[in-house]
A and B are shown apart, each in its own frame.
Chain A
Amino acid sequence: EPEVTQTPSHQVTQMGQEVILRCVPISNHLYFYWYRQILGQKVEFLVSFYNNEISEKSEIFDDQFSVERPDGSNFTLKIRSTKLEDSAMYFCASSPRTGYKDTQYFGPGTRLTVL
């Protein structure tokens, strides 16, 4: 069964450094998402992406964050200058069509630790 994959599984970085989290959505899906989960807290929506542009973003998704689909398979989340509070599990998800009828399929996550 097709799966969403994410790399790396764990990323450790120093405060102020740039990180890029990578995702490979399911191949025929058109909608892509990033969520994050700070330890012990709820899963929070960051951004949705369709047709090579952001379709919705949360208040968390400020100018330090960006997303890109650099080729036909990868979907990336970049954090330009990491802060301690960016430490979290970051989940990528995809869905085949607009999500209202379709399950969002989640990847295994990337644990980001900012020191």
Chain B
Amino acid sequence: KQEVTQIPAALSVPEGENLVLNCSFTDSAIYNLQWFRQDPGKGLTSLLLIQSSQREQTSGRLNASLDKSSGRSTLYIAASQPGDSATYLCAVLIQGAQKLVFGQGTRLTINP
């Protein structure tokens, strides 16, 4: 059974820092991995999708990497801003299925 874990559970940093969020998954048989942002009480906003054949994806200040063989992904946020404060979720789409399996998220706080 696929398990997705995110470390750390919470992170608080001053504005302007570069930071890394980690995601690990137990079964490498995945189609893709997505990173989402969730604001309190709100829905999920897709940030980046990495296909299983890809190593990384970039969007603005965000860069996500994927090492499928070791079951790891990182989300790198450059020059963090207070508006980046949210919970970041990673999810994998497992092969042979259409369901996303989510991690528990990292709650990020950027202090002005």
What residues make up the interface of A, taking CB atoms closer than 8 Å to B? 31, 33, 35, 41-45, 48, 50, 55-56, 58, 91, 98-101, 103-109, 111
Contact = CB atoms under 8 A, between A and B. Distances in A.
Contacts of A48: 98-99
Contact of A106 (B44, B51, B93): B44
Given A45-B101, A58-B99, A103 B46 contact: yes
Nearest to B45: A106
Main secondary structure of the interface of B (DSSP, over half): strand
A43 B38 CA distance: 11
B97 A56 contact: yes
Contacts of B42: 108-109
A94 to B, nearest CB: 12
B103 A42 contact: yes
